[in-house]
Amino acid sequence: MRRKQTGSPELKQVRALAIDIFGTVADWRGSIVKEGRPLKRSVDWGAFADQWMTGYRSRVEQVRTGQRPWANLDLLLSEAFADLVQSFKLSDIPKDKLARFGQVWHRLRVWPDCLPGLRRLRTRFTVGTLSNANTILLTDMARNASLHWDCVLCAELVKRYKPEPEPYLLAVESLGPRPEQVMYVAAHKWDLSAGADKAHLRTAFIPRPKEMPDDSSDTGPDPSYDIDAKDFEDLADQLGA
């Protein structure tokens, strides 16, 4: 169901990939559940992870729509975390352990196809992040997961969150410089359609399981994007890397 074949002239111009991180590369839910479970057995850590995500995303939306001034993701994650420490009654966990757990996003694990797939893609393309997370979080996470990026691009650099146009335009300027030279890769259709496609980047969709808590229909193949790939290894196959 690809709109354009790999060998098409459009895709031959691609020289760089800009890649979404949370969900697309990082298994944030699994990472939170795994680190949370030993802290307190009685907690529903899957629900905790989902609420952490919805808590920071609602804050991202407040910033994105101008209801509050710029704040980076580390700050929004810590605000959402403080709420959950109350509502999930976690204050009996030792303070140092709780503080360390609050930084779990800096240590997110990645889907197993990422390391081999990205290694292959980097042999042929310049490969950078394009994330709503901030640089410190992204560099910490990459170092912890042994991921290698050619550069780290993020919302913090333009003080605007995706799907506002500025982050995608940053990717074009930093990796292209023409939009058709840059392919945006994400597991979220809102991100691809409302963001990257509007900014005229090439697009690749990689479905991931249960990326949104209320979302069961989001992972089907979609002819709107230049490439539908099963994972990063399949993306490397399709791009001839």
Of the pair 90, 130, the CB lying nearest a second copy is at 130
**Angle, in degrees to the nearest 10, between helices 45-64 and 28-36:** 130
Q: Provide, rounded to whole angstroms, the least separation between the CB of residue 45 and a second copy.
A: 29
Residue given tokens 């290694």 in the structure block: 119
Q: Provide, rounded to whole angstroms, the least separation between the CB of residue 174 and a second copy.
A: 4
Q: Provide, rounded to whole angstroms, the least separation between the CB of residue 65 and a second copy.
A: 23
Of the pair 20, 211, the CB lying nearest a second copy is at 20
Give me Rg for the CA atoms of the chain. Answer: 18
Residues forming contacts to a second copy in the complex (CB under 8 A) are 126, 128, 134-136, 138-140, 142-143, 148-152, 156-157, 170, 173-177
Of the pair 49, 239, the CB lying nearest a second copy is at 239
Q: Provide, rounded to whole angstroms, the least separation between the CB of residue 228 and a second copy.
A: 27
Of the pair 175, 186, the CB lying nearest a second copy is at 175
Q: Which two tokens stand for residue 66?
A: 């101008």
Strands 16-19 and 126-131: parallel
Q: Provide, rounded to whole angstroms, the least separation between the CB of residue 20 and a second copy.
A: 17
Neighbouring residues of 197: CB distance < 8 A, sequence distance ≥ 6: 203, 224, 225
Q: How far apart (Å, rounded) are the C-alpha atoms in residues 188 and 186?
A: 5
Q: Which residue type occupies 146?
A: S
Of the pair 93, 151, the CB lying nearest a second copy is at 151
Q: What is the DSSP letter of 217?
A: S
